[in-house]
């Protein structure tokens, strides 16, 4: 096929044209799921969002349920974005089976969510970025391809993958920076406390105090941060290479 012949072909017939794996409705739903992920971020949760689609009477996909990560804020370890949306849809339709529904989620489902979606008989799952630590759609295990299960849900990953991964990378970068700042504040507070003990010991012994520094004394812990430091002191935010959204 020469160049002139190639130019005469319509775009749909170009030899290297690849059909999209995702429908326009699924891509629009993924953008809605990204909005849901931002809600999770604002609530202090890992930013993962989910949307459930179902065709209306005219066969046009409509959003029927949404969800975002809430395990911390609700003290519910099962409150992943997929489960939140799944519960909403099941209640809406009054049925625990949802065979006409498609779930669109920004992060590859974990084993818990994968099994819940298959129990609900979802027809299709679309996810954004892969989760190399807990992904159950091929990253760690592939429950959707398990031949011994009695229901098989179609699954496709990579929808707006870059956007979905970027949200997670920015979230974890922000958390690591905040943890580093708080760690520095804790060290400064500990040094100030130690200095006070030494000053009290000098005063009790009648020893002279050292000359004050030329630099004005800065409060070790700015007002409003002490409680936050105490609450988050046990959170491990060290950098990891297996965080969701990290390119492999």
Residues belonging to the active site? 82
How do beta strands 101-107 and 61-68 pair? unpaired
Supply the DSSP string of 147-210, one letter for each residue: TTSS---EEEE-TTHHHHHHHHHHHHHHHHHHHHHHHHHHHHHHHHHHHHHHHHHHHHHTPPPP
Bridge partners (DSSP) listed for residue 124: 102, 154
Q: What sign has the CA pseudo-torsion 126, 130, 131, 137? A: positive
Q: Which single residue is written with the structure tokens 């775009």?
A: 11
Four-point Cα dihedral 87, 90, 93, 97, nearest 10: 170
| Residue 237 CB neighbours (<10 A) | 16
208 CA to centre of own chain: 56
Rounded Cα–Cα distance for residues 155 and 124 (Å) = 6
């Amino acid at each position: 096929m020469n160049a002139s012949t190639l130019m005469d072909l319509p775009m749909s017939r170009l030899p290297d044209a690849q059909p999209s794996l995702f429908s326009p409705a699924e891509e629009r739903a993924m953008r809605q799921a990204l909005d849901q992920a931002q809600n999770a971020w604002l609530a202090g949760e890992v930013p993962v969002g989910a949307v459930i689609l179902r065709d209306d009477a005219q066969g046009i996909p409509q959003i029927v349920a949404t969800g975002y990560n809430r395990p911390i804020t609700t003290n519910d370890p099962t409150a992943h974005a997929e489960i939140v949306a799944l519960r909403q849809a099941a209640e809406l339709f009054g049925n625990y089976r949802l065979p006409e529904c498609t779930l669109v989620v920004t992060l590859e489902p974990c084993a818990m969510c994968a099994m819940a979606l298959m129990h609900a008989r979802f027809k299709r799952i679309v996810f954004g970025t892969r989760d190399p630590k807990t992904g159950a759609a091929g990253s760690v295990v592939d429950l959707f391809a398990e031949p011994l299960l009695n229901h098989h849900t179609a699954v496709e990953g990579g929808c707006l993958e870059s956007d979905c991964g970027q949200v997670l990378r920015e979230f974890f970068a922000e958390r690591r920076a905040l943890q580093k700042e708080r760690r520095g504040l804790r060290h400064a507070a500990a040094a100030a406390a130690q200095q006070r003990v030494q000053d009290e010991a000098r005063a009790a012994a009648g020893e002279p105090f050292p000359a004050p520094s030329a630099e004005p004394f800065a409060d070790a812990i700015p007002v409003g941060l002490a409680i936050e430091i105490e609450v988050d002191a046990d959170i491990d935010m060290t950098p990891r290479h297996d965080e969701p959204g990290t390119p492999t």
